[in-house]
Amino acid sequence: MRSEKHHKGWNEIKTNDSWAIFKIMGEFVNGFERMSQIGPCVSIFGSARTKPDQPYYKMAVDVAEALAKSGYGVITGGGPGIMEAGNKGANKAGGTSVGLNIDLPFEQHDNPWIDPDKSLDFDYFFVRKVMFVKYSQGFVVMPGGFGTLDELFEAITLIQTHKIGKFPIVLVGSDYWSGLLDWIKNTMITGMTISPEDIDLIKLVDTPEEVVHIIDEFYRGHTMSPNF
């Protein structure tokens, strides 16, 4: 009797999983159709908890503004903190400002600096992550938490394994990121869990001008197109 009850519950889960495919497919189709019309963009990642009076918020505004003035649109996760700062900087410079929003029980809400026709909503993190990777010409990674690290290491892994072509990955903030890079060099490379050249996929800078220079220099020798 108990076994039948457990099997019934399991079968209901399997049925719900099958129907979820259509919702997932819908998010992919909507995302591909809308993002494919936006043009070359750079994604800016960072903490949703960063306040407007904090230095890295202002830095993110300046980075986004500099990118927009150089002809790049800006994509963020659409929420508060560094994401808001990125959209604000792009908007301030008259550039394309995209927000890929995710439905979360806390922290996340749309920020007011996203172009009204370029605000997309997602229920699934993995669909949203595909949009970042497919349509970004580079990743600019400001100080952030687990979500920021997730996006950073996903991009590095996909490039390292040749699942996507190489594109610029720029960390902003030596005081925040130096410890992580030291650990990668001293522990991962020393322990031979990654190759020494893998660290070359990441650049560390402290100014908006350096961010733009790295991305501009990369695209002097590469075409801009979706990454897969």
DSSP secondary structure string, 73-86? EEEE-SSSTHHHHH
pLDDT of residue 160: 94
Largest Cα–Cα distance in the chain? 68
135: helix, strand or coil: helix
The 10s digit of each residue's pLDDT in 71-125 is 999 999 999 999 999 999 999 999 999 999 998 766 557 899 999 999 999 999 9
Helices 146-160 + 125-135 axis angle, to 10: 50
Judged against a pLDDT cut of 80, whether residue 9 lies above it is answered with: no
Q: What percent of the chain has pLDDT over 90?
A: 84
Q: What is the mean pLDDT of residues 57-77?
A: 98
Domains of the chain in sequence order: 2-218 (3.40.50.450)
pLDDT confidence bin for 12, thresholds 50/70/90: low
The 10s digit of each residue's pLDDT in 155-174 is 999 999 999 999 999 999 99
Judged against a pLDDT cut of 80, whether residue 134 lies above it is answered with: yes
pLDDT of residue 221: 84
Judged against a pLDDT cut of 60, whether residue 5 lies above it is answered with: no
Q: Report the C-alpha gap between 35 and 176 in whole angstroms.
A: 31
The 10s digit of each residue's pLDDT in 183-216 is 999 999 999 999 999 999 999 999 999 999 999 9
pLDDT of residue 145: 97
Kindly provide the b/e burial profile for residues 146-175, where b requires at least 16 CB atoms within 10 angstroms of the residue's own CB: ebbeebbebbbebbbeeebeebbbbbbbee
Report pTM. 0.91
Judged against a pLDDT cut of 90, whether residue 17 lies above it is answered with: no
Residue among 137, 64, 117, 55 at smallest CA distance from 94? 64
pLDDT of residue 106: 65
34: helix, strand or coil: helix
For residue 77, how far is the Cα from the chain centroid?
A: 7
Contact partners, residue 170, CB within 8 Å, separation at least 6: 138, 139, 140, 141, 202, 203, 204, 205, 210, 211, 214, 215
Count Cβ atoms below 10 Å from residue 207 Cβ, excluding itself. 13
**127-to-42, 61, 96, 131, 200 alpha-carbon distances in Å:** 18, 26, 21, 7, 28
Q: Report the C-alpha gap between 119 and 78 in whole angstroms.
A: 8
Average pLDDT score over the chain: 92
Please report, as a single letter, which amino acid is at residue 19: W
